[in-house]
Amino acid sequence: MRIALPLLKMWNLQTILAIFGSLCLTSISAYKNGKVEKSCESMMPEHHSQPNTTGSPYTLTVDARKFSPGDNIRVTLSGSEHFEGFLIQARDATNPDGPAIGSFTLVDPVISQRLTCNRIEGSAVSHTSNAKKTEIQVIWKAPSNAPPTVQFLATVLAHYKIFWLKLPGPVISQGDVTPAPSQSTTVMSTNSASTSILPQPFTSEGCGVSKSCLIDPVSCNPSVDTNCFFLSYSTMDQTVSFELSGPAQGYVSFALSKDKWMGDDDTYLCINDEGRVSVEAAHTTGRTYPELSSKSVLTDVGWRVSDGVIQCKFSRSIYTPQDPVRFSLNNSYYLFVAHGTAEYGMIHRHTRQPLISSHNQIITGPSEILTGSRSPLLMKYHGALMLIAWMLAGSTGKLMAAYFKPDWPEQTLFGQKIWFQVHRMLMSLTVLLTAVGFVFPFVYRGKWSTRAGAHPYLGCTVVILTFCQPLMAAFRPAPNTSRRWIFNWLHWGVGNAAEIIAVVSMFYGIRQESLLLPYPWTTGVLSAFVVWTIVLKLVLKLHKHDIIRKGSGKEDELPVLSDISEDVTWDTKFRVAVLAVFVLGNSAFCISLLASIGEL
């Protein structure tokens, strides 16, 4: 009964706020503080594991076998091994699955606390922390309406996934009543299907013929490829069989969803806990932790762990009236495949964006090979537009303004100098692409992303600086005014700041979950683009300061007028050649990243 905070190690403000918000809005499935009123009826910890069925090292004892209403009975829970959590109740010995009766007072309030079960304050007692202990004592007060016989029950947690459910304690009776034999208690088991170890890995043979498959990467085979994520399903009579495989440290899972958003999904988990895999059916509401099913809906369960790959299979009925949150498999759904880490059987948030099928499909429909993507289409558009804006349009537009002002002095384009018109068109295109690309993540998310790190903050800064540029240009002073130098420096400074921050933002962007490009080669491509840009700008800078220039071989002779004209023509050709190389190189880098986005 411990609090499980999967992202506890990520100490940053956004994560803390996200965790705080989720704690405020959702129920927690493990409680190290002992506030376990949700388990009052079943006494079952919500730790997503089965109770231990071996002999327990813990015992319950009482200091009296007879009682009268109002009497105080000392109850002791002790063991030969440490335990971290507990839940003690008194119940009617003839109905141990009934409600808690009586009330407890505490002997040591530091390690124990009273809970309100069955609307009776103090009718149960639990731990206050997960500190290790070997004994706990409490006092039970018999109520005036106590049944003739009372039995004490305890759920004892040795560690997160190691616990004993409803350990039977002594039966005490009123007056001369002879204690009746205690009834067996009900052990609630989630998806308590018999399991087997799979003799061999799954295969993609038969996909599209005898079974439907969702595979990532496309055409991989889980029987030979340890990096293959694989989900298959096939129908036989009123049952559908599922196979799930993927490389993961903790768990692989899939969900049936009515849309492409997480929430209100029929979810299935294969969780690796120290070499054993538990297969669970669950349901998600919003972005909360999956709530495991308390009904046994899975059959023919099997699993396998080898070479870092978790594989599991199971079958379930098309309709599950005993568990109404399970979806009917005769309807069409999108398929989600996710994976992540787990600790003591408690899953953490998936480490990558889930693989989502490109279209919905009727689960019991004809067999087909499905395609999917881990990146939503809007986020692909966002990435593509930003790359084009800042790797091509923006960088080329800045180059024109910085180095091509002396060229084509007698020629105009739409009434303005050529360099100015090209610069203005390219920078206008940059503003347009940046504005449109900026909108897409908000359309996709519908809100601010709290898990995107520095990327959205850098992106917003770039957008602000980008829009400052045309505003400053619209109100710029005339070229010969005394204040023109202020505009020149501001325009230059804001433009360079926007470009630098945009490049930094791109490095963060290609590592986002929703647009996670292959690492490390895409980082290498982006790094090469930065170096390439710096080198070619340095070449133009050296040429501008006559460090790189055409040599005549007769530097001690005075140039004639025709030589000056020839040098000017050569300078223009040199700069145009460098510009062509610059654009071609940037295009190659940009196309490489765009192709990588297209493959997601």
DSSP secondary structure of 421-433: HHHHHHHHHHHHH
Report how far residue 185's alpha carbon sits from residue 187's, in angstroms, rounded to the nearest whole number.
Answer: 6
CATH 1.20.120 fits 377-545+564-599, yes or no: yes
Rounded-to-integer distance, Cα 255 and Cα 335, Å? 6
Same fold: 196-373 with 377-545+564-599: no
Tokens 């061999």 — which residue? 200
Q: Omega of the bond prior to 376 within 30 degrees of 0, cis? A: no
* Per-residue pLDDT at 450: 80
What's 289's DSSP letter? P
Return the residue matching tokens 């492409």: 260
Residue type, 104: F
> Which pTM was predicted?
0.63
Pairs from 426-429 (Cβ < 8 Å, separation ≥ 24) = 426/393, 426/394, 426/396, 426/397, 426/400, 427/393, 427/394, 427/397, 427/398, 427/469, 427/470, 428/470, 429/389, 429/393, 429/397
What is the CATH number that goes with domain 37-174?
2.60.40.4060
Give residue limits of the domains in the chain: 37-174, 196-373, 377-545+564-599
CATH code of the domain occupying 196-373:
2.60.40
Residue with tokens 């790359």: 387
Q: What are phi and psi of 221, to 5 degrees?
A: -125, 120
CB-based contact 6:26 (threshold 8 Å): no
Per-residue pLDDT of the chain (600 residues; tens, 9 = 90+): 333 333 333 334 444 334 334 433 333 344 566 578 788 888 888 765 677 777 789 999 999 999 999 999 999 999 988 998 999 999 998 888 899 999 999 999 999 999 999 889 989 999 988 888 999 999 999 999 999 999 999 999 887 778 888 999 999 998 766 555 544 443 333 444 457 888 899 999 999 999 999 998 888 999 999 999 999 999 999 999 999 999 998 999 999 999 888 778 999 999 987 778 888 898 888 777 788 776 678 999 999 998 899 999 999 999 988 888 899 999 999 999 999 988 777 788 887 888 999 888 999 999 999 988 888 889 999 999 999 999 999 999 999 999 998 888 888 888 889 999 999 999 999 999 999 999 999 988 888 888 788 999 999 999 999 999 999 988 888 888 888 999 989 999 999 999 999 999 999 999 888 888 888 899 999 999 999 999 999 999 998 887 876 554 444 444 544 455 555 688 889 999 999 999 999 999 999 999 999 887
pLDDT attached to residue 600: 78
